[in-house]
Chains A and B, each alone.
Chain A
Amino acid sequence: MENQTSILNLTEEEFVHPGNRACSGCGLSIVYRTGLKALGKNTILVVPPSCLTVLQGLYPVASTKLPCVNVTFASTGAAATGVRAAMRALKKADVNVVAWAGDGGTGDIGIQALSGACERGEDIIYICYDNEAYMNTGVQRSGTTPQGVLTTTTPIKGKLQEKKDVPAIIAAHGIGYVATASAAYPLDFYDKVKKATTLSGPRYIHVHTPCPPGWSFDTRYTIKVGKLAVQSGLFDLYEIENGEFRLTGASKNLVGKARIPVTEYFQTQGRFKSLDQEIIQKVQEQVDAKWARY
């Protein structure tokens, strides 16, 4: 996919009110604002408990100018199914039904409902923002926390297990569109969401969202940290369209070029400070082996 949108032609229409309850430097708030621009007005959102619930504000004030139903943690994929079923039953075809959930809400507690929706071929867009831990409850490990990361439930040794590859699991359902993106490249994310709105069936976008308090870095470095994750080859931007994999954007530009060592990415964040040399070496080898296949 070639990027089509630039900051010059990005729509000025906003669907997120300023002054919402996100932390400063929040990667989610970047992609939420950008993603809703891509989705446009004719959209219904489905949101489980997550940082987004907080970002959206406390009753009776809401920060989102789109209809949104808050649902239980494990039910997002099924709830989006229900909205779409109602749209069909009520003959309201031309609506984007969009689930927007965190990594724990997607890859851990929500994976059953999401898997069911993918298997049934539900006509929904599912956006997972991946800040790599349970941030809303105060930085506990999730299945998508990388190995070695310090969280409040892996407080001394860091997480022992590797990160669960959720987009690969979703892609294994054989759905038509799976993409990854990063808050550090919001226009690439915009274009992927926009593209998803032109397709039908289950569409899944997994977006990496750096989290200053959870990852322990200064709020001004959100974009820098996000870019390092991509440029070190750890988090790759790609699309899998009808089974065909291709790197996109900044990741595509890395092919055949020297990548930044992963340790430079690790050094930007306090959450990696207990990483030993052995794990750093292993991760670098894994990244090198992955890129050798690209």
Chain B
Amino acid sequence: MHIIESGNVAAATGVKLSRAQVIAAYPITPQTPLTEKLSEFVESGELAAEYIPVESEHSAMAVCIAASTAGARAFTATSANGLLYMSEQLHWAVGARLPIVMCVANRGIGAPWTVWNDQQDTISQRDVGWIQIYANDHQQIIDAVIKAFRLAQTVSIPVMVCYDGYLLSHTYMPFEEPAQSSVDSFLPTFAPTHFLDPENPGNFNTVTLPDVRPDVEGVIAPGYIEIRHTLHQDLRAALDTFVEIDREFKKEFGRGGNPLIEEYRCEDADFVAVCIGSLSYQLRDVVDGMRENDVKIGVMGVQMYRPFPDEAIVRALAGKKGVIVFEKALSYGNQGALYADIKSALYKSAERPFIHNYILGLGGREIKTQHLLDALTASCTSPDTFEDAPRWIGLKL
């Protein structure tokens, strides 16, 4: 069934179809309509879930952590400062290996206060160990939510589904709502092997020593560093798992096929513009225009940012003349985080393209197509004038 709705409602519909059992959320712009819709689904009986209107984002994630530890499928959503307020809990959720799914409607971070879109909120949380998937349109939002629940419980790692605040959260687009029966066959019930159970009591997230330690029967149990190493290995393996899950999703629903990166006119391109989120679709217009003037250029959207799909990115970019990375976030005092990651991935390839970094759109500053065209033209025509430092687009200094 095709419907026309907002990105937030696309996300809420994905949560409903995924049969989340415990939902906890605290309102924050621009995530709010998503949680409003979920509370409506629950109150109306359309979704058989517990909806907990908590008193903070920290508590929202606490509810999800505890409910997931008890064996329920848990969901929350937030933006910006709300995400940062629960940052401690993000670490906790992934350390406890809980398959929580969270939507983040990306928004800039205060101070000063801003409610508008950039991606500093989720990019700043890239190192916590959550899987991060970015959606570029409403169809990708609803599909990513459903895939995220499947991925999270397959690898026992929580997943963030991120989409640009306002640009996607509050705009209306047509998208297909999958049939419940199809989602049910794609997404099995959450049935954890370990959960809070009086019949089989366990102590979860206990103090763990630096070294390994025998249990009462003499079996050696891992220390903290082994547990964290396992997490990292499992995160790396999640790249392939997500490709497989996306393949099965495509079989069931006929959509997908670009789980890690989404390439547009890249095959014969000399230059590739790279970014995260809905900006990659805006860049398609610019690229189409440049192609008419015989510049061989394409666009690559990074769909999964953590774990970082370095091999797929190297495959896509090695041998190109130039890579131009646009970012709505910054590792302050250094460079764009994606830019640094891509440079690092390309280090091992024999034919390294030049690589430039642009910072733009922070705090919702309008991204004009002409600005993108000017930036790409400068990069493609005089690459040697660039330093290994980001240039800022649209500054009015």
Contact = CB atoms under 8 A, between A and B. Distances in A.
Interface stretch (B196-204, B235-243, B326-334): B196-204
Contacts of B69: 69, 82-83
Contact of B67 (A43, A60, A61, A83): A83
B62 A79 contact: yes
Interface string B199-218: 01111111111000111100
Interface stretch (B46-54, B141-149, B388-396): B46-54
B333 to A, nearest CB: 29
Given A59-B206, A61-B216, A113-B58, A120 B53 contact: yes
Given A41-B198, A85-B50, A46 B55 contact: no
A257 B27 CA distance: 54
Contacts of B71: 86, 90
Interface string B163-201: 000000000000000000000000000000000111011
B55 A95 contact: no
Interface string B211-229: 0011110010100000000
Q: Interface size bucket, A side?
A: 35 or more
A255 to B, nearest CB: 38
A287 B5 CA distance: 64
Nearest to B224: A59
A74 B221 CA distance: 29
Contacts, number: 175
Given A58-B209, A59-B221, A60-B213, A85 B67 contact: yes
Contacts of A43: 198
A167 to B, nearest CB: 20
Contacts of A46: 66
A3 interface: no
Given A69-B196, A82-B52, A90 B203 contact: no
A71 B61 CA distance: 11
A166 interface: no
- Residue of A62, A67, A83, A112 most packed against chain B (CB within 10 A): A67
A178 B206 CA distance: 29
A82 B66 contact: yes
Given A72-B88, A85-B22, A120-B52, A113 B59 contact: yes
A78 B204 CA distance: 17
B161 to A, nearest CB: 20
Interface stretch (A49-57, A144-152, A227-235): A49-57
B22 A69 contact: no
B66 A81 contact: yes
A68 interface: yes
A115 interface: yes
A126 to B, nearest CB: 14
Contacts of B61: 75
A58 B206 contact: yes
Interface of A: 41-44, 46, 53-54, 56-62, 64-72, 74-75, 77-83, 85-90, 95, 112-113, 115-116, 119-120
